[in-house]
């Protein structure tokens, strides 16, 4: 299974993390078919984890003086989105 959300020019994910994300996707897909409420609960937990870790990562980048352009290029997104991500770190 390929993580189609990752652009070719984006910073590569470490292999163990990519494999874990594939496994989580597969488990969530299976759980959705068998127990949709449990799948929704799991998604909520993942959203909270992702938001917290995202703020921490963006804060580290911001504190390190990384520009919105650099973030955008590394993530395969726009400068505006890179700026939003860095600004979200202020909420940590």
Q: pLDDT by residue (tens digit) across 39-64?
A: 999 999 999 999 999 999 999 999 99
Output 30-35 pairs: Cβ under 8 A, ≥24 positions apart: none
Q: How confident is the model at residue 91 (pLDDT cuts 50, 70, 90)?
A: low
pTM of the model: 0.76
Query: How many CB atoms within 10 Å of residue 70?
Result: 14
d(CA 33, CA 39): 9
Compute the distance between CA of residue 19 and CA of residue 21 in angstroms, rounded to an integer: 5
Per-residue pLDDT tens digits for 9-33:
689 999 999 999 999 999 999 999 9
């Amino acid at each position: 299974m390929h993580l189609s959300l990752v652009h070719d020019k984006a910073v590569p994910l470490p292999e163990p993390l990519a494999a874990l994300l594939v496994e989580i996707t597969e488990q969530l897909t299976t759980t959705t078919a068998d127990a949709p409420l449990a799948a929704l609960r799991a998604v909520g937990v993942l959203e909270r984890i992702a938001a917290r870790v995202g703020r921490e990562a963006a804060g580290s980048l911001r504190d390190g003086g990384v520009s919105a352009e650099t973030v955008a290029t590394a993530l395969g997104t726009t400068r505006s989105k890179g700026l939003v991500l860095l600004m979200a770190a202020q909420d940590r």
